[in-house]
Chain A
Amino acid sequence: MERQNTSSGQLQFSGWEAAQEYHFEHGLTDGLPIVPPTPTKVNAMLDYVGLSGDTVISSEITRKKSFTAEKVAINAVLAGCIPEYFPVVVAAIEAVCDREFNFHASSTSTNGITTMVVVSGPYSDRVEMNSGAVLMGNGNRANATIGRAVNLVKTNFYGSIPQDMDKSTFGHPGKFSFCFAEDLQASAWPSLAEFKGFDSISSTVTIFAANAPLQISIYGDKNPKTFLTATAHGMIGLGPLISEVAVVISPELMAYLDESDWTREQVQEFLFDKTRRPAREWIEWERIDHPESIGDPDQLLGCVSEPERITVVPGGGAAGAFIDIISSWGSSRSVTKEIKVRR
Chain B
Amino acid sequence: MTNINSDIFTLDPRDENNPGPAMLAPRGSTLDGKVIALFSNNKPHSVELLRMIADVIKERYSIEGIVEHNKGGHQWTAQPEDLIELAKQCHVAIHATAE
Binding site for B on A (CB under 8 A): 1-2, 6, 8-17, 19, 28, 36-39, 42, 62, 64-65, 70-71, 74-75, 78, 102, 104-105, 109, 152, 156-159, 289-290, 329-332
Contacts and interface: CB of A to CB of B under 8 A. Distances in A.
A71 B8 contact: no
6 contacts: A9-B12, A19-B10, A38-B8, A78-B13, A289-B43, A290-B42
A16 B11 contact: no
B8 A16 contact: yes
B10 A36 contact: yes
B44 interface: yes
Contacts of B24: none
B16 interface: yes
A159 B11 contact: no
B56 to A, nearest CB: 25
B8 A8 contact: no
A105 B9 contact: no
Given A62-B77, A105-B76, A9 B11 contact: yes
Contacts of B16: 8-9
Interface residues of B, number: 23
Interface of B: 2, 4-16, 18-19, 42-44, 73, 75-77
Contacts of B44: 289-290
A11 B7 contact: no
Main secondary structure of the interface of B (DSSP, over half): loop
B40 to A, nearest CB: 12
Given A104-B77, A105-B76, A74 B13 contact: yes
Given A17-B4, A290-B44, A71 B13 contact: yes
Contact of A10 (B11, B13, B73): B11
- In the A-B complex, list the 7 residue pairs whose CB atoms are closest, starting with the nearest: A330-B75, A16-B4, A9-B12, A156-B13, A8-B11, A15-B5, A2-B9
A102 B76 contact: yes
A75 B42 CA distance: 37
A11 B9 contact: yes
Contact of B75 (A8, A11, A109, A156): A109
Contact of A157 (B8, B14, B42): B14
Contacts of A15: 4-8
Given A16-B4, A64-B19, 13 more contacts: A6-B11, A8-B11, A13-B7, A14-B7, A16-B8, A19-B8, A38-B10, A62-B77, A71-B15, A78-B13, A105-B76, A109-B75, A156-B14
Nearest to B6: A15
Most buried by A among B5, B14, B43, B73: B14
Contact of A74 (B5, B12, B18): B12
Contact of B9 (A39, A104, A329): A39
Contacts of A70: 11
Contact of B11 (A11, A14, A64): A11
Given A102-B76, A105-B77, A331-B76, A157 B9 contact: no
B5 A39 contact: no
A39 B75 contact: no
Nearest to B73: A331
Contact of A28 (B2, B13, B15, B42): B13
Contacts of A8: 11-13, 16
A10 B8 contact: no
Contacts of A290: 42, 44
Residue among B9, B42, B43, B75 with the highest chain A CB neighbour number at 10 A: B9
